[in-house]
Amino acid sequence: MTLHVKNNIYWVGKQDWELREFHGSEYSTHKGSSYNSYLIKEEKIALIDTVWSPYADEFVTNLANEIPLEKIDYIIANHAEIDHSGALPALLAKIPGTPIYCTANGVKSLKGHYHQDWNFQVVKTGDTLDLGNGKKLVFVEAPMLHWPDSMMTYMTEDAVLFSNDAFGQHYASDQLYNDLVDQNELHNECIKYYANILTPFSKLVTQKIHEVLSFNLPLDMICTSHGIIWRDNPAQIVEQYLKWADSYQENQITLVYDTMWESTRKMSEAIASGIRKADPTVTIKQFNLANSDKNDVLTQVFKSKAILIGSPTINNVMLPQVAALLEEIQGLRFTGKTAAAFGSHGWNGGAVNRITQRLKECGFNTLEGTKVEWRPTQEALQECEAYGKNLVAQLGGVSADDAKQTTVATELPSMVCRTCSWVYDPETGEPNQGVEAGTAWENVAESFLCPVCFMGKDDFVPVADAAAKAA
């Protein structure tokens, strides 16, 4: 199916109504998804991205019905991940030698996936490709949004930004545009997508948006790689991303737990009751990990100002599903949030201590947790309720801005990764790698890796030097 987007731009992608898991089984897609490919028919013909490999033959057949394949002059690979590039082998078998425009990292990724030495044309930010009729494609590198190879492509005159994974959502719909779909569904899928995929790169999101805005380009549409096209006030999703990237939180507290014999569940409900009595305005969410979708849980963690993680103790450690969630949370690198642990135990209560330690490693402002021995008595549940009330009191003096502030006063120079522009700030250190706040760069271990692109310490340069070079 081909759908007209604007002027000589056409959608030639695939709606995947049946998809329920993405990135293997890493991301739940309750609403399906789409793989958006765009065909531009100016004096020159350009194809922007393809579709996931299971639909490659279908894609090539449909594309051939739209235009003789040999008339395609350029292929733009905004992203090498196989949900974007999966049909390239089938397509290039029909039109070998067609140039593929991508970043230098895109070449590496595409060669890594397909082991083919295609006709790659490397582009960088500011490079252009003339389509004729007074229109050009302008390329904008966007490393680590969310892969090192990622880029966006802007079409002049039509003022359309082909935004790659940014501003998208896993959402299948036969209504192509944002103003035609259910707005609540759209918002929920957008925030879930950001929370679970883009959160670790929030600093880069902010930097890239401001960089693109500095070009002062008109913007009539944002054509994403997944989900709908933003045509009605496309700036709204850009503004929303800036909010989400800034240590986002709502007036919400989320309790997440697993339980063996219902004791930890009872604790969660009692703590929630105390929170509610202390602050009737706060939104409270509770999830049992045994029967909850982890991506939905992580979305609520993203929205929360505070979270409580609970588990009974087994073999002196937490239950595996809780440990797995904390591993996900550490990778997502949430900021500006408070957390605490709770749980019941028999002869030993090691789970709460281990959860607390993991929460510290995840970068949360961590409060003292609470434990109950054996099955909670009515008195123990009252103590849990009091714990919830006290939690609200402790949160009362912590605003989102306060939570983002550091307590280390230092003038140590910051270092920036040359590959992805992640900045090492000595004031905050890098707790996920055991680098304490206030650690000067020269005292950081040689085994240090950039937490975004995993380049080594020798890839870093002083921020001042990078700024001077850019100037």
Q: What is the dihedral of CA 54, 57, 58, 62, to 10 degrees?
A: 150
Q: Which of 4, 21, 23, 58 is catalytic?
A: 23
Cα 272 to Cα 266: distance, rounded to the nearest angstrom: 10
Coil vs helix vs strand at 283: strand
HSE on the CB side for 44, CA within 13 Å? 17
Instruction: Please confirm, yes or no, whether 113 is among the known catalytic residues.
Output: no
3-state helix, strand, coil in the chain (%, to 5): 40, 25, 40
E-assigned strands of 156-305? Answer: 160-164, 221-224, 229-230, 252-257, 283-288
Catalytic residue among 165, 189, 258, 385: 165
d(CA 300, CA 283): 11
Residue closest to 98 by CA, chosen among 150, 139, 46, 56: 46
How far apart are the C-alpha atoms of 246 and 400, rounded to whole Å?
9
Catalytic residue among 49, 226, 387, 424: 226
Which DSSP helix (H) or strand (E) runs through 270? helix 263-278
Alpha-carbon gap, residue 93 to 325, rounded angstroms = 43
- Catalytic site residue 458? no
- Which run of H or of E encompasses 338? strand 338-345
Kindly report the three-state secondary structure assignment for every residue of 44-101.
Answer: CEEEECCCCHHHHHHHHHHHHHHCCHHHCCEEECCCCCHHHHCCHHHHHHHCCCCCEE
Catalytic choice (42, 79, 194, 248): 79
Q: Tell me whether residue 165 is one of the annotated catalytic residues.
A: yes
Of the residues 74, 101, 146, 258, which is catalytic? 146
Q: Which residue in 49, 81, 158, 430 is the catalytic one? A: 81
Taking CA atoms, 292 is separated from 75, 194, 289, 295, in Å, by 41, 19, 5, 9
Strand, helix or coil at 43? coil
- Catalytic entry in 42, 49, 83, 158: 83
Q: Coil, strand, or helix at residue 348?
A: coil
* Distance in angstroms (rounded) separating the CA atoms of residues 273 and 282: 12
The neighbour count for residue 63, using CB atoms within 10 Å, is: 22
Give Dmax over CA atoms of the chain in angstroms: 78
- DSSP, collapsed to helix, strand or coil, labels residue 293 as coil
- Is 226 annotated as catalytic? yes
Residue corresponding to tokens 């994403």: 224
Active site residue 141: no
How many C-beta atoms surround the C-beta of residue 359 within 10 A? 25
83 among known catalytic residues: yes
Active-site option among 193, 194, 387, 424:
193
Which residues are designated catalytic?
23, 79, 81, 83, 146, 165, 193, 226
